[in-house]
């Protein structure tokens, strides 16, 4: 028996829980505001689709003015290419002959594929799968303080750029970083030092791609960056609000949940466990904020239960609904095959999370 997804016009009080809800007006405003900011500061904007994994939303981001999208996996990129999106940056080291062949197949059908690399191993693997007739564009990933992937120095970045430029199947396109929060000065220093080294070697470096949602509205503090990548800004979440990126009125995602038990004074149990909210804390001491019940704390998650403590006298009773602002939207999306959109509490559409569950 398949699940009866709510038709447009259904009040959200009638839809099943736990369920992520997206507020259409806030969504549209988040898309527009970020794009207006980047238009104003003259930088390209490339939304990261990992947050929503929904082609229809990527098309809305592109219609607003984004120059392309950012994916993390080939299989995600394939889903968005199927939706007609041509400009795709995969910010990942693609390794192994099978993956490189898959990447080549994608390159053969879209116009604007580009990837990143931070090692000679990755570059050489890519080089073996592409040829000079239609080279693959590659950016060098730089570690500007994020301490994840990335070459460690401008000298190493320039050397890897030379290796890319020398490969017949590849084209060196520029630099990419995923910085630490507040790392604008470090990004600027790394990018500008590398650009000087490349300039001295006669290697063009047209794209310098910076990223992150918490610092989205500070992208102008990195003058050398030509583009910015952000994902979470489209929905926003509790961590983005704490970071000062957005206000409560910009939170487009809530997780709708039902009170399933009021077992003891001060305690309630909701039907949204770690298989709905995830256990991402992101520095918080509880698993989400319950709208309208600021003193209540989601202290423990099991897989299908959330235990709420310190509830007030006005906390909803058994069978009633609450809305939760999740700590981190991107991982919530990834747990659901389809999510519900609404305007003022009335369903507008439901959309499959088409690029979740993909492999590679």
Tell me the pairing of strands 297-301 and 69-71: unpaired
* Rounded least distance, CB 49 to a copy of itself, Å: 12
Q: Which stretch binds a copy of itself (CB under 8 A): 37-45, 140-148, 183-191, 218-226?
A: 140-148
Q: Binder to a copy of itself among 12, 19, 257, 325 (CB under 8 A)?
A: 19
Q: Which stretch binds a copy of itself (CB under 8 A): 129-137, 150-158, 159-167, 190-198?
A: 150-158
Please report where in the chains the tokens 């219609």 appear, as a residue: 63
Q: Contact at 8 Å (CB) between 209 and 227?
A: yes
Cα(42)–Cα(94) distance, integer angstroms:
31
Cα(319)–Cα(323) distance, integer angstroms:
13
* Rounded least distance, CB 286 to a copy of itself, Å: 14
Size of the site for a copy of itself (CB under 8 A): 64
Q: Binder to a copy of itself among 62, 151, 198, 207 (CB under 8 A)?
A: 151
* 39 near a copy of itself (CB under 8 A): no
* 349 near a copy of itself (CB under 8 A): no
What is the phi/psi pair of residue 329, to 5°? -70, -40
The residues, any chain, with a CB within 8 Å of residue 277's CB and separated by 6 or more, are: 18, 255, 287, 288, 298, 301, 306, 324, 326, 327, 332
Residue 10 CB coordination number (10 Å): 16
Residues in the chain: 360
* 360 near a copy of itself (CB under 8 A): yes
* 278 near a copy of itself (CB under 8 A): yes
Q: In angstroms, what is the C-alpha Rg of the chain?
A: 22
* 7 near a copy of itself (CB under 8 A): no
The smaller minimum CB distance to a copy of itself, of residues 248 and 281, is found at 281
* 303 near a copy of itself (CB under 8 A): yes
The residues, any chain, with a CB within 8 Å of residue 351's CB and separated by 6 or more, are: 54, 56, 57, 338, 339, 341
Which residues between 75 and 114 bind a copy of itself (CB under 8 A)?
A: 75, 78, 92-93, 95-96, 98-99, 102, 105
C-alpha closest to that of 219 among 39, 65, 52, 61: 39
Contact positions vs a copy of itself (CB under 8 A)? 1, 3, 14, 16, 19, 50, 72-73, 75, 78, 92-93, 95-96, 98-99, 102, 105, 118-119, 121-122, 125, 143, 147-152, 258, 260-264, 267, 269, 271, 274-275, 278-281, 300, 302-305, 307, 317-319, 330-331, 334-337, 357-360
């Amino acid at each position: 028996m398949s699940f009866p997804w709510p038709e447009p016009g259904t009040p959200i009080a009638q839809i099943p829980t736990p369920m992520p809800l997206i507020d259409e007006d806030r969504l549209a405003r988040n898309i527009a505001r970020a794009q207006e900011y980047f238009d104003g500061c003259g930088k390209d904007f490339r939304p990261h689709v990992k947050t929503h994994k929904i082609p229809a939303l990527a098309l809305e981001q592109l219609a607003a003015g984004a120059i392309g999208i950012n994916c993390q996996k080939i299989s995600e990129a394939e889903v968005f290419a199927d939706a007609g999106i041509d400009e795709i940056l995969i910010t990942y080291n693609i390794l192994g002959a099978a993956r490189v062949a898959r990447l080549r197949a994608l390159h053969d059908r879209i116009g604007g594929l580009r990837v990143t690399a931070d090692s000679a191993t990755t570059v050489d693997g890519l080089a073996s799968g592409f040829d000079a007739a239609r080279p693959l564009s590659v950016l060098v990933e730089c570690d500007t303080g994020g301490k994840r992937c990335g070459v460690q120095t401008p000298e190493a970045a320039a050397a890897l750029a030379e290796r890319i430029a020398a490969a017949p199947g590849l084209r060196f396109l520029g630099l990419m970083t995923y910085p630490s929060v507040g790392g604008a000065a470090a990004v600027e220093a790394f990018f500008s030092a590398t650009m000087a080294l490349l300039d001295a070697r006669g290697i063009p470096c047209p794209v310098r791609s910076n990223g992150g949602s918490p610092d989205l509205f500070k992208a102008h503090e990195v003058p050398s960056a030509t583009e910015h990548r952000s994902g979470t800004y489209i929905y926003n979440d509790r961590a983005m609000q704490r970071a000062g990126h957005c206000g409560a009125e910009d939170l487009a995602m809530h997780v709708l949940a039902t009170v399933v038990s009021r077992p003891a004074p001060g305690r309630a149990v909701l039907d949204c466990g770690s298989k709905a909210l995830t256990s991402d804390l992101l520095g918080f001491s509880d698993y989400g904020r319950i709208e309208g019940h600021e003193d209540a704390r989601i202290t423990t998650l099991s897989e299908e239960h959330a235990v709420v403590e310190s509830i007030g006298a006005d906390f909803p009773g058994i069978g009633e609904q609450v809305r939760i602002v999740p700590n981190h939207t991107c991982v919530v999306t990834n747990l659901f095959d389809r999510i519900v959109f609404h305007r003022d509490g009335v369903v507008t559409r439901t959309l499959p999370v088409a690029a979740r569950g993909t492999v590679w």
